[in-house]
Amino acid sequence: KQEVTQIPAALSVPEGENLVLNCSFTDSAIYNLQWFRQDPGKGLTSLLLIQSSQREQTSGRLNASLDKSSGRSTLYIAASQPGDSATYLCAVRAADKLIFGTGTRLQVFP
């Protein structure tokens, strides 16, 4: 059974710091991995999607890597801003469904 875990559960950093969010999954048989952002009281917004054959994806200040064999992904946020404050969820696609991680709640203070 696929399990997805995210570390840390919460993170509070000053503005400008580079930071790394971690995601691990127990079964490497995945089609892809996605990182989402969830703002309080809002739905989810897809940030990056990495296919199982890819190693990383970049979008602006965000970079996501995937090491399928070790069951890990990281989301790197460069030069963090207060507007980055949100909960970040990773999700792996196994068969016909997404399985979500537990989330990392990020707070970036000015």
Partner 1 sequence: DTAVSQTPKYLVTQMGNDKSIKCEQNLGHDTMYWYKQDSKKFLKIMFSYNNKELIINETVPNRFSPKSPDKAHLNLHINSLELGDSAVYFCASSNWTSGRETQYFGPGTRLLVL
**Residues forming the site for partner 1 (CB under 8 A):** 32, 34, 36, 41-46, 49, 51, 87, 89, 91, 93, 96-100, 102-103, 105
CA 56 to chain CA centroid, nearest Å = 12
Residue (43 or 83) nearer to partner 1, CB? 43
> What are the residue ranges of helices labelled H in the chain?
none
Cβ 1 to partner 1, closest distance in Å? 12
Task: Provide the 8-state DSSP code for 16.
Answer: T
Taking the complex as a whole, the smallest distance from the CB of residue 79 to partner 1 amounts, in Å, to 26
User: In this structure, what token pair is assigned to residue 105?
Assistant: 């709640």
Q: What is the C-alpha to C-alpha distance for residues 105 and 1, in angstroms, rounded to an integer?
A: 25
Nearer to partner 1, 80 or 87 (CB): 87
